[in-house]
Chain A
Amino acid sequence: MKKEPLRIIPLLLIAAMTVILAVLFPTLPKRTFSDNENRTLAKFPALNAEKVKDGSFQAGFENYLADHFPFRDALFSLSVGAERTLGKREINGVLYLREPSGTRRLADVYEKPVHGKKFVQAVNRLSENLDTARVTLMLVPTAVTLYRDCLPAHVKARMPRTQMQLIRMITGGKDIEPRVNCRIVRGVQKTLSDGRTAGEEIFYRTDHHWTTRGAYRAYRRLAPYLGLTPHDAPGESLTLVSDSFYGTTWSKVCDRRIRPDVIEIYENPAWKGSLKVTFEDTGETTDTPYNRDWLAKKDQYSLFLDNLHPLITIENPDADLQRRGNRERRALALVKDSYANCLVPFLIDHYETIYVFDPRYYRGGISTFVNEHPEVEDVLVLYNLSTMDTDRGVGAIS
């Protein structure tokens, strides 16, 4: 022994850490669900000769070990924090943006178009299959587009295709087949930009969704297409329900240096007791489009329309029909991703019935349903440009 305690002590520390982790792993209680990642964690794999032979037990065990590793979330934050400290501009598909005011916000990278064509085909099919209802398409750019001036330098290398190019592809139809054969809500990007210029938070800083204020702007833009006279700016009529929201984008980096978001909602006091919201998969009914139970969990955005349901029926006997020019057919069908969930409340006061479809889960043919319900005058297809392009469920839109 060369009398060098300084050499041995770090090694002993590392050995001790290793042993502690080894002991903690089997003894610590196991979680079944990771709130932060919003996914079920791996279960201990089934052990039999066949599974060992083909290696699936071993792979399963390593997943189990990684998923239930002691201090997993803290270690994850540490790893990401170290990269951030070394100046990485993109971590786990998340870009760090800095607004001129100095505010930091996160945005998901926009990957290149994948299913754009499939989406257009599906919307066209829906349009063709409908007897009398007409389709209106609204495509919403995501935060990387609205805040493109705040993106890190040279990000063009990472995102060579912009969402606006995709929109032009779909709507302009200059050299792209097929063209969309229904009405398209134009100027969404501009209306959101105006909101941003006016100092509103249009997107959450930590989530991939737009805010209720962003949705409100879009609703104003949408109104003339559906023949609506929109409500006035909500201003103070929005209710603050959370100031501790960390969204899914944040979950990929777990960076506590980013402040949490606030969530606001729009509520009409007249709904209480008279509105009927039916979740057709579970059969439950309520009198509000919000489920506040979610506010106690990590995934607070799910408060809007209670997260995922194949079909939700919203009936409002007190609808202000004048604001739609007292038209005969008093229903709307909405085909959408989660962006629409915070826009729906603004539409509730215009229709006696709104059918809200999530085509990823609804099985039975949306056009068949609409044709069987002649009171539906408009079908609104509402997607953000990232989901529309990457979500495989869009094929089921028709």
Chain B
Amino acid sequence: MVFSSLLFLILFLPAFLILYGLAAFAGKRTGRLSGDLCNVVLLVFSLFFYAWGEPLCLFLMMLSALVDYVDGRLLARFDERPGLRRLCLVVALLINFSLLGIFKYAGFLTGILNQLPGVKLPLPGIALPIGISFYTFQTTSYSIDVYRREVKAERNYFRYLTYVSMFPQLIAGPIVRYRTVSSELTKRSIPLDDFADGATRFLIGLFRKVLIANELGALWAFLLGQEKLSAAAAWLGLLTFTLQLYFDFSAYSDMAIGLGRMLGFHFNENFNYPLAAVSLTDFWRRWHISLSSWFRDYVYIPLGGNRRGRAVMLRNLFVVWFLTGLWHGASWNYVLWGLYHGTLLVLEKFIWGKALKRLPRILQHVYALVLIVFGFGIFYFEDLSAFGRHLSFAFGLAGTPVIGDDFFWALGNDLPVLVLALVLSFPVFPRVKELAARPGKPVRTALRAVCGVLAVGLFVLCVANLVRDSYNPFLYFRF
């Protein structure tokens, strides 16, 4: 099930919220831990949510959770025996990453092996279970944190499963760590203010996904379908895809964080206006934060980080960016994309980072945006020759004009949404809020009223758009 579907918005979510509310109310009256009854509702709905799309993969997810739950229990039991603890962790990680390897990378790996002379393995043909990259990273972070004694092992499997399967963040992140929500899993309160904030955040995500990302997706599909592209249209295409991916993915995080708050959980932010970055180093502090921090905490730093000399550090960076790329998909272009960013980060660190900072701010933005957009070109095209073709259009090597009908047709149809997407990629909202807070109450009230009317209108429009096309898959399902 996806958030931006009629099924979720109109049937699943209302039914869930009503039962969850009743559970919270009943929990209060009977004086039991307020989390428990709510957790039951949350767990049942989460399993249903996941099973709706992939009934069989549900068991894989529950198995993955079971492995780390058991591992956590064992780590707690063998508290005094470092050797055994180490073994437990290694076994748990092996199982987790083997499952991920089989279900996500088996086809890719077979393809590579088949390139060797004399090797001819049959392709396994396994369909990727939704969200496996996300929940594998979640469950392993739990095992490692327990091993490091940074968090206490969970005693109750169902509570642990509730954490892993929690539908707001199950299939497309953010990668919520157990330690972020462990206390809220047992006891949480939902002040009305929090609930309203969460609902608002959810709606913002919904609008960004349905009204912007989906629209941009259609434009990108149109440009991709052209036999030839002018250079301007080729670049517009890459920019459109970048914006689409950002709005799609960060909208999902908005909805996840919003839903979390509505239920009494506080997830960490996952995006912080990444397209407004002034360098790639800056970009990675703002893009998919829960993933980059996972790699920092569980790969980069354990490998020695930057404290063991330049050579080791370069190796570590290479490993991290190779894996970051690979995490996004079982195809070379993702690896290439990871290494592209890794290389640029190294160059910024050692070569031109300081010079870059002395440039006018606007040039820093241009520098970062061009490299980001180009990077997402690598990211998009799984077929490198198709990317080559696109680049030959972008750099005018295919004999197509610099600017043509395709560009103007695209702009003529989608200028409003493109401009809106670009503007909203920069921290405009916080700025407006700041300004509105200053002059005093009347302005703020007026702004509130406008936003309120707008929200209701946009919600109706979202439903209308969903009625119109029931087809709107999230991009990040592939990962």
Contact = CB atoms under 8 A, between A and B. Distances in A.
Tell me which of A4, A76, A79 has the highest count of chain B C-beta atoms within 10 A of its own C-beta.
A79
A157 interface: yes
B196 A8 contact: yes
A6 B54 contact: no
Interface string B435-479: 000000000010011011101100111011111101000000000
B416 interface: yes
Contact of B456 (A13, A89, A154): A13
Contacts of A4: 448
Nearest to A90: B413
A25 B15 CA distance: 14
B7 A62 contact: yes
B168 to A, nearest CB: 17
Given A11-B199, A79-B461, A153 B467 contact: no
B415 interface: yes
A236 B86 CA distance: 96
A129 interface: no
A147 interface: no
Interface string B30-59: 000000000000000000000011111000
B413 A25 contact: no
Contact of B13 (A18, A65, A72): A18
B409 A79 contact: no
Contacts of B80: none
A65 B11 contact: yes
A79 B464 contact: yes
A183 interface: no
Contact of A66 (B449, B456, B470): B470
A10 B56 CA distance: 39
B26 interface: no
A14 B455 contact: yes
Contacts of B404: 157
A22 B7 CA distance: 10
A66 B417 contact: no
Interface string B412-431: 11111100000000000000
B196 A55 contact: no
A187 B271 CA distance: 61
Contacts of A153: 408, 412
Given A1-B192, A6-B448, A53-B56, A155 B409 contact: yes
A2 interface: yes
Interface stretch (A80-88, A291-299, A331-339, A376-384): A80-88
A8 B193 CA distance: 9
Contacts of B222: 158
Contact of A154 (B200, B409, B467): B409
Interface string B208-237: 000000000000001000110000010000
B468 A80 contact: yes
A2 B10 contact: no
A297 B478 CA distance: 45
A395 to B, nearest CB: 26
Question: Does more than half of chain A's interface fall in helix, strand or loop, or is it mixed?
Answer: helix
B14 interface: yes
Contacts of B407: 157
A17 B417 contact: no
Contacts of B233: 157
Contacts of B6: 62, 65-66, 69
A63 B7 CA distance: 10
B5 interface: yes
Interface string A43-84: 000000000110100100111011001001001101110100
A22 B56 CA distance: 28
Contacts of B470: 62-63, 66
Nearest to B447: A6
B63 to A, nearest CB: 18
A21 interface: yes
A13 B199 CA distance: 12
A164 interface: no
B468 A58 contact: no
Given A9-B452, A66-B470, A14 B53 contact: no
A174 interface: no
A80 B468 CA distance: 8
Contact of B467 (A17, A22, A63, A72): A72
Interface string A133-161: 00000000000000000001111111010
A76 B463 CA distance: 9
Interface in B51-81: 52-56
B259 interface: no
Interface of B: 5-7, 9-11, 13-15, 52-56, 191-193, 196, 199-200, 203, 222, 226-227, 233, 404-410, 412-417, 445, 448-449, 451-453, 455-456, 459-461, 463-468, 470
22 contacts: A6-B445, A10-B453, A10-B456, A14-B203, A18-B14, A19-B14, A21-B10, A53-B55, A53-B56, A65-B7, A65-B11, A66-B6, A66-B467, A66-B470, A69-B467, A72-B467, A78-B464, A80-B468, A89-B409, A153-B412, A157-B404, A157-B407
Interface of A: 1-2, 4, 6-11, 13-15, 17-19, 21-22, 25, 52-53, 55, 58, 61-63, 65-66, 69, 72, 75-76, 78-80, 82, 86-90, 152-158, 160
Given A17-B460, A76-B468, A154-B409, 11 more contacts: A8-B192, A10-B451, A10-B452, A10-B456, A11-B199, A19-B14, A22-B15, A25-B11, A58-B52, A75-B463, A89-B409
Nearest 8 pairs of A and B residues by beta carbon: A10-B452, A79-B464, A157-B409, A157-B406, A157-B405, A75-B464, A6-B448, A154-B409
